[in-house]
Amino acid sequence: MELTVHNISGEATSKKVTLDDSIFGIEPNDHAIYLDTKLIMANKRQGTHDSKERSDVKGSTRKIKKQKGTGTARAGDIKNPLFRGGGRVFGPHPRNYGFKLNKKVKRLARKSALTYRAKGNDIVVVEDFKVETPKTKEFVNILKNFNLEGKKTLLVVKENTDNLALSSRNVQGAKVLRADSISTYEILNANKILLVESSLKTFEEMFSNK
C-alpha cells in the first residue's frame, strides 16, 4: 500500500512511502487480537480485592445451640456464612490475572491490528519533525491541522523526546508512543494513527524476526 507523506501543517508533500505488506497487509487474525488485548487488559487489573472467610472472621467458636431437638437446622459457631456477620463462601482473594502468551501471537496480533487500520484508511504518514520547546499549544495545532482535535489520536514516533512528551501529556485523547512499544490495544483504541516517517523503519526491524 502506498501512502502520501504529509507535513505537520497537514499538507500533502510530493513524497510517498510504501507500507510493508508483511506488516500492514497480512490476513488479520481476530483470535490473536482477542488474546493479546485480553492479556493487556488483564495486566492492568490490580487484583487486590479480598474477603474474609469464616476462619478470618473475629468471633467465638462456641456452638450456639445444641445439635438436635430445636426443630431448626443444625448450626455451628457464629462465624457460619449463613449468619449475618459470618464469613464469606468462596470470596475473592488477591490474585494475578495475567497469563502467558507466546511472542509470535503478540506479534501477529499487532500486525493484524495495523492491517485493519491500514485497510480502513486510518493511518496518516507524517514527515519527521522536532518540537523545540514543550508547548501544549504547538501539539494541539498539529492535531488541528489534521482535523483530529478532540479525537483519540495515536502519534507513533521512532524516539520520544522530552519536549514532545511534555507537549502532549495534557491533551485529552492524544497519546505519543515509540514504534517499538506500541500495543495492539493502543492501535485499535485510537481513531487515527499518525505515523512519523522514520518509525516505519522501526516497524520493519521489529517485525523482521520471524
Per-residue model confidence as pLDDT tens digits over 104-147? 999 999 999 999 999 999 999 999 888 888 899 999 999 999 99
Examine the pLDDT at 210 and tell me if it is beyond 60. no
Rounded to an integer, what distance in angstroms lies between the CA atom of residue 149 and that of residue 196? 18
Per-residue model confidence as pLDDT tens digits over 146-164? 999 889 999 999 888 888 8
Per-residue model confidence as pLDDT tens digits over 128-137? 888 888 899 9
- Sequential DSSP letters for 119-175: HTT-EEEE-----SS--HHHHHHHHHHTT-TTS-EEEEESS--HHHHHHHTTSTTEE
- Cell numbers describing residue 107: 506479534
Tell me what pLDDT residue 130 has.
Answer: 86
The residue written with cell numbers 487515527 in the block is 192
Examine the pLDDT at 181 and tell me if it is beyond 80. yes
The residues spanned by each domain of the chain are: 2-28+102-206
Per-residue model confidence as pLDDT tens digits over 23-35? 999 999 999 999 9
Average pLDDT value for the chain: 92
Q: Phi, psi (5° rounding) for residue 29?
A: -110, 105
Of all residues in the chain, the percent with pLDDT exceeding 90 is: 72
Tell me what pLDDT residue 1 has.
Answer: 80
Domain 2-28+102-206 has CATH 3.20.20.70: no
Does residue 107 sit in helix, strand or coil? helix
